[in-house]
Amino acid sequence: MRKLVFITFLCSAAWSADWPTDGGNPQRTAWQKDEHVLNKDNVKGLQILWKLKFDSPPREMHSLFAPLILEQVKTSGGVKQIAIEAGIADNLYAIDVEAGKVLWQKHFEYPPVKEGRGLRPGDPLCPGGMTGTPVIGPPGANGARTVYAMAGDGQLHSLNVADGEDVAPPFKFGFGNGKSYSLNLVNHILYTSTSQGCNGNPNQMWAVKLDDPQHKVMTANPKSGGMWGRSGVAIDSNGVAWGPTGDGRYEKETQTYGNGLIGAKVEGDELKIVDYFIPSNWTWLQKRDLDFQVTPTIFTYKGRELLATASKECRVYLMDVKNAGGDDHQTPLDRTPLICNEEVNFASAGIWGSMANWADARGTQWVLTPFWGPVHSNFKVPVSYGPVKNGAVVAFKVEDKGGKPQLTPAWMSRDMNRAEPPVIANGVVYSYGNGENTEQAYADRGLDDSSPLRIKNSTHAVLYALDAETGKELYSSGDQISTFSHFGAISVANGRVYMTTFDSTLYCFGLPGK
């Protein structure tokens, strides 16, 4: 009997799954490799296990960010599986996910931000506050885990996941109200990126060594409109952090890398741009505001480390991280045809957010992208599920063609109202239509990107589970989610699927009794 208990414990420990950062890992694969509860057969039984509404008011359209999950956290009340949830109103919550109850919460207080030029009320682009999803570091010597969170004033806080206590004094890392994106952490180096010049911030990549007593802030600036990949930067095995540069110009002579992708690496005490990619039609992207702005996803395929990324133009690019874009920095390994955005719309179509990848049991490598708006009339995909008018997820297989890895369309999901970055777990793809009103311009008056208007015209998010190999719908949350989700994300771990919404609610889906 004792032997059986021990074996059960071992299995449990082996199956334990964490989600310590946005996208699951520094490569932003969004692939939960350790999910063993939910599968293709039982996911149809998903239910809302619990939902928590936090006293953390939204700012503009932003509210809560991707939950982070640690399965085995030693707390004063025993070992618990904890979700860390960040709110834009500078709040951090730790939730006992078994009980669906808050274990501790923290509010970051600071004097009014004086740096910068201020924020514009009603501007959804620059909400201020804590905008970057925190990150949880690896276990310390004592097994404790630290969550790193950057408050709206740019101060980086280091808190014990178990109790929320400071484990180190906060220090200045980012730009106050500067709209930092999801934090990433590799080898004690913390990364983020900033965009849209919010509060006058410099749009750039940021890094700091956590073990540097001086906490020197290192930056790499592509001189663009902003590095607004939703999940921040993705980091390859060589420590190169890859981030899209958003709108802007390309001028090699002045190291201006707008509408492209930069790879930056910490060398000594500097963050240096070591490689870049600029699409050959960057002038077109700039002219139509089709920013290159999707956080890449990184994977290894037949011994080569590759990354996939995309833009609002609605193509997916495949590159080798050792030589992104080839000698001229403009030649990717593959560039798909246009998937969507036939209207060339800057606001309500194209690929937004981040991507995902996974490998199935047969070794087939998959790359997934969400998109918004109608599918392009010329896009051919062998498997699809009815007309797509509002958005969908598309899956590609990575295949060798003529000795080069290529992206072959495999399936396109059902229509989703603004499909958001997928997560793959145990053969199931989770994604959601965010239900957000994405209009930024109107026939009667032109450009008018206004949070109140968009909030008023938004509906509600819908979570979907799809067969990862066919795209077939396995589950839909229907009308169960009350409001939309802006800049949210899915997290999956240990039989639970988490997502957040504008009304400051964290939803936990799962199978009752599992």
Partner 1 sequence: MKGTFRMRKLFFTVMAVAVAALVMSGADWPTQSGSPQRDGWARAEKAFTRENAHKIELLYKYKADNQARGLRALTSPMINGMLITYLGFKEMLFFGGSGDNVYAVDADLNRMIWKTHFDYKGDKPLASPTATCPGGLTASLAMPGSSSAAGGRGLGAAPGRSGLFATGFGRSGIFIAVSADGYLHALNTSTGGDKVPPVKFIPPNSSAGPLIVNEGVIYTATTDNCGGKPNAVYALDMSGGEGKLSSFAADASGIAAGTDGTICVQTKDGLHALTRDLQAKESFKATDGGSAASPAASPMASPMVFQWKGKDAVVWGNLHLLYSGTDAPSRTETTAHSPLTFASWEDAPDGPRWVYAAAENSVEGFNVEDRNGSPVLKSVWKAGKGGDSMVTANGLLFLLSGGKAPGGKATLRVLDGLTGKELYSWSAAAYAHDAGLAIANRRIYFTDHSNTVYCLGFMAEQPQLTGR
Q: Which one of residues 148, 173, 346, 475 is an interface residue with partner 1 (CB under 8 A)?
A: 346
- Tokens of residue 178, six digits: 């500067």
Is residue 101 near partner 1 by the rule CB under 8 A? no
| CB 352 to partner 1: min, Å | 14
Is residue 406 near partner 1 by the rule CB under 8 A? no
Is residue 247 near partner 1 by the rule CB under 8 A? yes
**At a CB cut-off of 8 Å and minimum separation 6, what does 400 contact?**
302, 406
Decide whether 316 or 423 has the Cβ nearer to partner 1: 316
Q: What is the DSSP letter of 260?
A: S
Q: What is the DSSP letter of 90?
A: T
Residue ranges in 54-93 that form contacts with partner 1 under rule CB under 8 A:
none
Is residue 289 near partner 1 by the rule CB under 8 A? yes
| CB 374 to partner 1: min, Å | 12
| CB 243 to partner 1: min, Å | 18
Span from 29-37, 112-120, 208-216, 429-437 in contact with partner 1 (CB under 8 A): 112-120
| CB 335 to partner 1: min, Å | 10
Decide whether 346 or 487 has the Cβ nearer to partner 1: 346
Is residue 326 near partner 1 by the rule CB under 8 A? no
Distance, in Å, from the CA atom of 494 to the CA atom of 477, rounded to the nearest integer, reads 19
Burial class (CB in 10 A: 0-12, 13-18, 19+), 478: exposed
Q: Between 431 and 470, how does the x/- string for binding to partner 1 read (CB under 8 A)? A: --------x-xxxxxxxx----------------------
Decide whether 198 or 462 has the Cβ nearer to partner 1: 198
Amino acid at 65: F
Exposed e or buried b per residue across 268-300, where buried means at least 16 C-beta atoms within 10 angstroms of its C-beta: eeebebbbbbbbebbeebbeebbbbbbbbbbbe
Distance, in Å, from the CA atom of 326 to the CA atom of 336, rounded to the nearest integer, reads 17
Residue 290 contacts residue 311 (beta carbons within 8 Å): yes
Residue 438 contacts residue 349 (beta carbons within 8 Å): no
Q: Which one of residues 48, 102, 347, 383 is an interface residue with partner 1 (CB under 8 A)?
A: 347
Going by their DSSP bridges, the two strands 146-150 and 135-136 should be labelled as antiparallel
**At a CB cut-off of 8 Å and minimum separation 6, what does 213 contact?**
none
Closest CA to 130 of 161, 112, 153: 153
**CB neighbours (10 Å) of residue 117?**
11
Is residue 188 near partner 1 by the rule CB under 8 A? no
Is residue 383 near partner 1 by the rule CB under 8 A? no
Span from 54-62, 243-251, 460-468, 480-488 in contact with partner 1 (CB under 8 A): 243-251
- Cα–Cα distances (Å) from 346 to 311, 351, 376, 394, 447, in that order, read 10, 10, 15, 20, 11
- Tokens of residue 355, six digits: 């991507």
Decide whether 259 or 297 has the Cβ nearer to partner 1: 259
Is residue 10 near partner 1 by the rule CB under 8 A? no
Is residue 118 near partner 1 by the rule CB under 8 A? yes
Q: Which one of residues 39, 155, 256, 281 is an interface residue with partner 1 (CB under 8 A)?
A: 281
Q: Which one of residues 187, 280, 323, 457 is an interface residue with partner 1 (CB under 8 A)?
A: 280
Is residue 379 near partner 1 by the rule CB under 8 A? no
Residue 483 contacts residue 62 (beta carbons within 8 Å): no
| CB 343 to partner 1: min, Å | 5
Binding site for partner 1 (CB under 8 A): 117-118, 120, 197, 225, 247-249, 258, 280-281, 283-284, 286-289, 343-347, 349, 439, 441-448
